[in-house]
Chain A
Amino acid sequence: MFETESRSIQLDQIDWNDTSCLITYGPLPHKLLLSIQTVGLIAPPLLQGKKNGLFRIVCGSRRLAACKKIGLDLSPCQVLPSFLEHQTCLRLAIYDNVAQRTLNPVEKSLVLAKMAKYLEEPQLVDEFMPVLDLEPSVTLFDRYLGLHDLEEMILDSLATGRLNERIGFVLAKQEKEDRLAYLRLFEELPFSVSVQEELVETVEDISRRENLTPQQVLSSKEVTTLRQAHESPARQRAQKIRKYLRDRCNPRLTARRERFAQETRQLGLPSGVRLVPPPYFEGPKWILECTFERAEELASRLRHMVLLADQPKLQTIMESASGVSSREVGN
């Protein structure tokens, strides 16, 4: 352990621009302000003296920020010797924080990015990923490191939990304008995390095919109209946008579904009977659903169906648009 010196430090003696040991990210908790206002600072922050006479914050940046915010100008602090290496101070900051709380994704990424200046990747993965409650995997390490360079708006959403880190990882691979466009959509409407992932993939597929950027897809007339249809509840708007994008991404499937719906209507199924195609029209198994209340009703619906089953119309419904091939193979 290191000798520390207890001192009262003027807040204007603190180098607020030196964030080299800062690994906290996110808004000041209201309860912290309340606590300091009510009972004062219980745990003194840890500082290190700098050559320029100012002090670097090692631990307790939020506490000090809270003191500043409520107008205090003096704070009791512990001061580390100035000869202590920066890496040691950084470790102190990290271990102090993880001992007290779970870090948010931005903070985890800050820890890894800052320690990456001192340690090789394998050591970082082995020592710090478990400390951060993360699987010690290189892939995950790379993903967290990717969060570090994201825009403040996205970092804020990640730090406050409005955006899941899984989406952060996906957005980190996008261009700036595109990820901000996704962020605006995800903040605006209630999509689950897995639907957000699906949407990013769907929009990416559309952009590739239509030679547009994701941002252009998300600001297209159709999406904008759906987003702005404020007469519908947000959940409904989210569902409609998802459906619109899926349909646009799968034009063949959508056309087939529409054809199926139209042809089934023309077929004239008896009431209480439903024809269900295989998922994605893939595979040979179709389902006929029949609901009934009495035996006679069942019998009459089945009789009706037997007649329909003999009609070429039903066969057409089950076949692709290109129709049956003309020649057999001479195997």
Chain B
Amino acid sequence: MVRGILASLPEIPVQWVDRFGEDRKSETSKTLEVARFRGRFVKACPGTRFYNCCGYQILNFANQCSLGCSYCILQVYFPNSNVRLFANFDDLLQQLDDHLRTSRRKVHRIGTGEFTDSLLLDHLTRASELLVPFFAKQPSAVLELKTKTSQVDLLEKLDHRGRTIVAWSLNPPEVIDREEGTASSLEERLAAARRCQDWGYRLAFHFDPLLAYPRWKGGYAEVVDRLFSVVDPGVVAWISLGSLRFMPPLKAIIKQDHRGSTILDEEFVPGLDGKLRYFRDLRVEMYSRLKDLLLKVAPDLCIYLCMESNDVWREALGFIPAERGGLSAILDQKVLELLD
């Protein structure tokens, strides 16, 4: 993989180091750090006991992201702004294989978009060429590639056998312009989703973070309209809704590094997990409205809330996950239907 990256970037200076300095945040991240990762590539998603967790598993092949979303929590997690890629994919695939063979879970939903954007570096790493065929051979596991880019070219020719779900996080264009750095526009994301649909992939969409800005009602209604004018709801595996939430230290970073951002203009309260969130009534209103918009177009959509408590689920969606076996089981069931 490293040879491939170097070959595709012949003009870029390369420095070999024994270890990376934990430098202060640079103005713009211009260095790609490539390292061998010696830890566990596969981890459970760090949900909290206070909110319903989706039971997702994380496949972590890179830390940090250079797209520059104002609300990105990675700014707090990783003080170094360089993207660090873990290039020992042989170890990654071996660990993944061991994990899938030995785990007692019936179904695995594994995603690479927790600590970076899944497709940000795909044109350099060609990681999808390793991961998608690997998952194609798994009887009960799906890979979810979550992205805000439109870099899907490499996915076209891959034999995915329905076991890779390509997912986009969506927001209204004015939010994307103001808050999502150099991420692709809504139209570019939807065009990329359409290409994936045409190549037979299942899709997922994450309205996460939902942002309460003055025109949010109209803004999200337009996104839903645009989405289903491009994408067939029948190929959508699931749609998640999650309102903006962040660790308190992110507030100072947003103020300092994202001066054009307006996300701090709303009112926030500390949640049960210590993160700041919109006041629950507003969250309920946003979820209910989005749910109504989505179900109007496609009544059978699988919609779930990300990191919300039962009272919010009940009020916004009309049920709590435990009544249907738990959120993890609901999504596992959806995977089994997809794999049928």
A-to-B contact residues, CB < 8 Å:
138, 205, 208-209, 249-253, 256, 279-284, 318-331
Contacts and interface: CB of A to CB of B under 8 A. Distances in A.
A250 B267 contact: yes
A283 B50 contact: yes
A330 B281 contact: no
A97 to B, nearest CB: 31
B303 A331 contact: yes
A319 B315 contact: yes
15 contacts: A138-B24, A209-B265, A251-B267, A280-B279, A282-B270, A282-B277, A282-B309, A283-B272, A283-B309, A320-B280, A326-B292, A327-B291, A329-B291, A329-B317, A330-B300
Interface stretch (B104-112, B158-166, B197-205, B282-290): B282-290
Given A283-B311, A284-B310, A284-B311, A331 B324 contact: yes
A253 B264 CA distance: 16
Given A283-B50, A320-B280, A325-B318, 9 more contacts: A208-B265, A252-B267, A280-B280, A282-B269, A283-B309, A320-B284, A322-B315, A327-B295, A330-B295
A282 B275 CA distance: 12
A205 B263 CA distance: 11
Interface in B275-333: 277, 279-282, 284-285, 288, 291-292, 295, 299-304, 309-311, 314-319, 324, 330
Nearest to A279: B270
B209 interface: no
Contact of B315 (A250, A320, A330): A320
Nearest to B51: A283
Contacts of A282: 269-272, 277, 280, 309
A320 B277 CA distance: 15
Contacts of B309: 282-284
Contact of B318 (A205, A279, A283, A329): A329
Contacts of B314: 324
A327 B270 contact: no
Given A328-B317, A329-B295, A331-B304, A321 B281 contact: yes
Nearest to B294: A329
Nearest to A252: B279
Contacts of B269: 250, 253, 280, 282
Choose among A209, A256, A284 the residue with the greatest number of B CB atoms under 10 Å from its CB: A284
Nearest to A211: B265
Contacts of B279: 250, 252-253, 256, 280-281
B318 A249 contact: no
A320 B278 CA distance: 13
A281 B324 CA distance: 25
Contacts of B334: 331
Contacts of A252: 267, 279, 281-282
Closest 7 CB pairs of A and B: A320-B281, A280-B269, A328-B318, A252-B279, A284-B311, A325-B288, A322-B285
A250 to B, nearest CB: 5
Nearest to A256: B281
Contacts of A327: 291-292, 295, 318
Nearest to B321: A331
B206 to A, nearest CB: 16
Nearest to B286: A322
Contacts of A324: 314-315, 318
